[in-house]
């Protein structure tokens, strides 16, 4: 096994580069987690709605979807947007 010696400033430079790489990789994985796809059943469970309600939301263009053959897929980011737009903080209704 070989050992390599670095000066303190060289070592700190390497550590900074590793941190930048780590931050970049983490930001990419965070972006990818927002592009998860769900099927109709998972969306119904996530939103706590029936299949009939989901069908109405689709018909009324309330929730965007991707058609893959006969399957409908929904992006996590679109579902989060829907929830955010339709969140009511006033519970008096």
Q: Give the whole-angstrom CA distance, residue 81 versus residue 65.
A: 13
Cα of 90 vs its chain's centroid, Å: 27
- pLDDT at position 86 is 85
- Strands in 37-39's sheet, in edge-to-edge order, are 37-39, 71-75, 66-68
> What is the tens place of the pLDDT at every residue in 9-47?
998 999 999 989 888 888 776 655 556 899 999 999 999
Task: Please state the rounded mean pLDDT for residues 43-69.
Answer: 95
**Beta bridge pairs of residue 72:** 67
Can you tell me the distance from the alpha carbon of 71 to that of 89, in angstroms, rounded to the nearest whole number?
A: 34
CA distance 21 to 2: 25
What does the mean pLDDT of the chain come to? 87
């Amino acid at each position: 096994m070989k050992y390599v010696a670095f000066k303190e400033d060289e070592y700190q430079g390497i550590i900074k580069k590793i941190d930048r790489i780590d931050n970049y990789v983490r930001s990419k994985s965070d972006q990818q987690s927002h592009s998860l796809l769900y099927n109709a059943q998972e969306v119904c469970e996530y939103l706590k709605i029936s299949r009939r309600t989901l069908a109405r939301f689709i018909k009324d263009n309330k929730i965007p979807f991707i058609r893959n053959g006969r399957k409908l897929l929904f992006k996590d980011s679109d579902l989060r947007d829907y929830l955010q737009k339709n969140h009511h903080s006033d519970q008096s209704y």
